[in-house]
Structure 1
Amino acid sequence: MPLETLRTVAGLAPPLRTLFLTTLFFRTGTMAYPFLTPHLLGGGGLDPAGAGLVVTGFGIGALAADLAAGRLLGRLHPYALMRAGLLLGAAAVAVVPLLHGLPALAAGVLLWGFAYEIVTPAAYAATIAGSRPEQRKVAFSCYRLAINLGLSAGPLLGALLYALDPHSVFWANALCVLAAAALLHLRRERRPAGVGPYADTGSGGGTGNDAAPHGTLRPTAAERTRFWTAFGLSLPIQLAYALPSVFVAAHVIVGLGLPGYWAGVVFTVNAVGIVLFEVPVNIRTAGVGHLATLLIGYALAGAGFLLMALADTGPELVLATLLWTAGEVVVFPALLDYVSRLPGPAPDRTMGLFSSGVNLAFIAAPQLALHLSAPGHPGAPWAAAGAAVCAACLLLLAARTHPYTWHKEEPCTSAT
């Protein structure tokens, strides 16, 4: 499996290899955010309420970026928008440790959140433009691989730096983001004059410059309905997969009274499963229709989170984690692939709006966990998430019966 993944990444078209490496540097640099709250409570001089408000501002800035991405991608090439976001993000994260007081910190972190998130829809657009439709599910899985590798290494490095000097983790973060921007710039500039960044993929998405790659025709009512159907049906999935990062530790240690290392085991099983299996699984399922793939992914996710609600021992938690990790491996590349193929004048620009669901979920997940978890019912948040995903799976079956709510894709037979 690892060798197959390495061969797949090495075999990506040059623009997608550049995107993979840029994303790896960028996400490895995501080492300061996990330590933002202790910084705010310490060096930032805020009380818990103020720190919570500032951290929420990061999510609000990220959500604003998703909502603005469509218009920005209508005017800028994805590479140009990524470079701007990386440079702005590096500046913001470098300044945050120098700020004091609620207004300054709130403004700096909100700007940081905006710059951090604007890179994602631009990367989605670059993936769409840099891959043929039959390659896109694998391309998205490779992009997600870069994210997961970076997010696995970054916080570990950040923890070491934070122990040495709390400010250094912010500056190391900024340097990694600058390195990502430099790599993207250098790979872009090496191309011969007049050759678009996606010209060698045969996708027809390149423009030869940093102009917008698509027109500005308004979508039809059917196209809008299909998009919002996909968006709505994805929200339970986004919410369910936002829950582990905010609730696993509390559930394992406080809710179940298990040793804390079981929380680490859950995170490790999830991370290793994604890194080892996501790309190979999506290579093998590239020719499977979106409906079948999504139904399998939703079913695995729903079963996994319902089992999390019932699990009360470490091995049971691992079994549940294997199930919802299998769902994650299948469902997220399939969702991105399906939305990217929805008919419309500029489908890549809808990806920013679609990715706003991730930020809505991360804002809502802590509230869900807080309000549903209670003594005697530690698994209630998992049960709610699993039930919501199962309900969305049934709604997906219903949506596929009408052309206004489901786009029937053309057969796809090859990923190469």
Structure 2
Amino acid sequence: MQKFFRSYLDSFGGLRKEVWLLSLITLINRAGTMVIPFLSLYLTKSQGFSLDQVGWILTFFGLGSVTGSWLGGKLTDKFGHYRTMAGSLIVSSLLFVLLQFPVTFWGFAIGIYLVMAVADVFRPAVFVAISAYSKPENRTRSVTLIRLAINLGFSAGPAIGGLIIATTGYSGLFWVDGLTCLMAGILLLILLHPKRALEEAQDLVISAASAFKDKLYLVFIAAMIMFGFIFLQYFSTMPLFYANYHQLNEFEIGLLLGLNGLTIFLLEMPLIKYMESRKHSVISYINLGMLLTGFSFLVINLTDWVGVLIVGMLLVTIGEMIAFPFSNRFALDRSDGKKRGSYMALYSIAFSVSHIFSHNSGMHLVGSIGFQWTWYIMLALAILGVLLLIILKKLLQQEGSSAL
């Protein structure tokens, strides 16, 4: 046990102070985003929207995310990651609080669009900040540390969020979201020195090469859209599956979602350090993560035993622990010497596009063919994404890419 604990601590070694500070800010921010996992439940139970309406509202969620990711890349390349992150956190804090007041379909659709358009400006900027503050050999682990902060926040957030709903109702979630975003923005301004951030940013953009002209990178982005499409079901249709099919309440759903973040916190960094020491390619690891995520949908169809939900959650958790850090590493490596903001914006947009189609399509699929066949479709999409990445790997080998 002591050997494991020592190895666990060693896996965090060599990361710069700025990466740790950025992780702290991200932890505080993400711990407060309690409303997102409960959004579909809030819209159906509290606001009385139909599944079709919820699907369209979540499409506006994705459209806002695309807008924010694109804008974040532009602002990061022009003003640097420091100013972009701070502005996003502070403005989105106000918008999260205001989001509790719309009661009509269009009011909430426009509100969620604006919230995500501002909040997701943060995403490309934080990826660029990771590149600025980490050594090339530590990029994957730096990404992993940020992810640990995100998932530690998510492990506490849903559990606390379920408790808040049970005691004070859904409105408390919006206030917590807003206040934690504001706190994260203030800490960013205090802890990360702007002069150092601007100096780091000046070294990043070397040429005018844009991600949108990189054809192989676009193939990678297409595969990430597929991965995001199936993964995001765990934040829209899956909570409805837990509630409607297995009769779980909000607190139980929060605990199940919290298992995801807790497992990532305990195991992801040692796992990534171990996998980096092996000789397999980055693309192979992304494929493994995508397959495990697809299999998580298969296992929950095999039995009605409620315990299988834990097995499915563990499979998707291991899948994302592998796929996200290594796909992010691929994007960072591919952007070396180019407009990094545009590359990381396009990486973020891939998951924003998934938001547009995933939630809406998932809701309509569940409404028309039921949960079981919807999960089989998710498995098929995972296999299709794996095939696309296999093709990409062969093309990268022909290119002789260093980002392979």
Contact 2:60 2:112 in 1 (8 A): yes
Q: Does 1:267 align with 2:267?
A: no
**Other-structure match for 2:93:** 90
With over 3 angstroms needed to count, the CA separation of the structure-2 counterparts of 1:375 and 1:185, relative to structure 1, is closer
* 1:300 alignment partner, one of 271, 274, 292: 292
1:139-192, Cα deviation, whole Å (9 max, x unpaired): 111111111111222334344445336544433322211111111111124x8x
Under a length normalisation based on structure 1, what TM-score does the superposition of the two structures give? 0.81
- 2:97 counterpart SS class: helix
1:227 corresponds to which letter in structure 2? Y
Alpha-carbon shift at residue 274 of structure 1 (Å): 1.6
1:175 paired with 2:190, answer no
Task: Spell out the pairing of 1:402-413 with structure 2 (5 A cutoff).
Answer: 402-403=395-396, 408-409=401-402
Q: Which residue of 2 aligns with 1:239?
A: 229
Inter-partner Cα distance in structure 1 for 2:255 and 2:185:
34
TM-aligned CA deviation for residue 94 of structure 1: 3.0
1:185 and 2:189 are equivalent in the alignment: yes
Letter in 1 for 2:282: H
Q: Which has the higher contact order (CA 8 A, sep 6+)?
A: 2
Within 2, Cα distance between the matches of 1:209 and 1:4? Answer: 31
Determine whether 1:214 maps to 2:218.
no
Q: Alpha-carbon deviation of 1:294?
A: 2.1
Match for residue 320 of structure 2 among 306, 328, 338: 328
Residue of 232, 251, 260 corresponding to 2:241: 251
Consecutive unaligned residues of structure 2, counting only runs of 5 or more, are none
Name the residue aligned to 1:23.
Answer: 26
Structure number with higher helix proportion: 2
Q: Is the 8 A contact 1:41 1:47 kept in 2?
A: yes
Query: Aligned partners of 2:130 and 2:301: how far apart in 1?
Result: 36
Three-state SS of the structure 2 residue aligned to 1:341 is: helix
2:154·2:261 contact (CA, 8 Å) conserved in 1?
no
SS in structure 2 of the partner of residue 208 of structure 1: helix
Output the CA distance in 2 between the equivalents of 1:51 and 1:291: 35
Q: d(CA) in 1 for partners of 2:397 and 2:205? A: 23
Q: Is the 8 A contact 2:68 2:117 kept in 1?
A: yes
In the superposition, relative to structure 1, how do residues 101 and 402 fare at CA in structure 2: closer, same or farther (>3 Å)? closer
Identity across the alignment (%): 23
- Provide, for residues 96-115 of structure 1, a one-character-per-residue CA deviation record: whole Å limited to 9, x for no partner: 34567666655443321112
SS of 2:214's equivalent in the other structure is: helix
Check the 8 A contact 1:299/1:393 in 2, yes or no.
Answer: yes
1:236 deviates by 1.9
Gaps of 5+ in 1: 198-206, 412-416
**In the alignment, residue 214 of structure 1 is paired with which amino acid?**
V
Quick check: which has more Rg, 1 or 2? Answer: 1
Q: CA deviation at 1:385?
A: 1.2
Say whether the 8 Å CA contact 1:10–1:17 is kept in structure 2. Answer: no
Alignment match, 1:229? 219
1:290 aligns with 2:282: yes
Q: 1:405 to 1:299 in 2, by over 3 A?
A: farther
Q: CA deviation at 1:317?
A: 3.8
Listed one character per residue, the Cα deviations across residues 82-107 of structure 1 (whole Å, up to 9, x for unaligned) are 00101111122233345676666554
Q: Which of 115, 118, 129 does residue 115 from structure 1 map onto?
A: 118
Q: Work out the CA distance in 2 between the residues paired with 1:147 and 1:130.
A: 18
- 1:300, 1:33 → 2: CA distance? 24
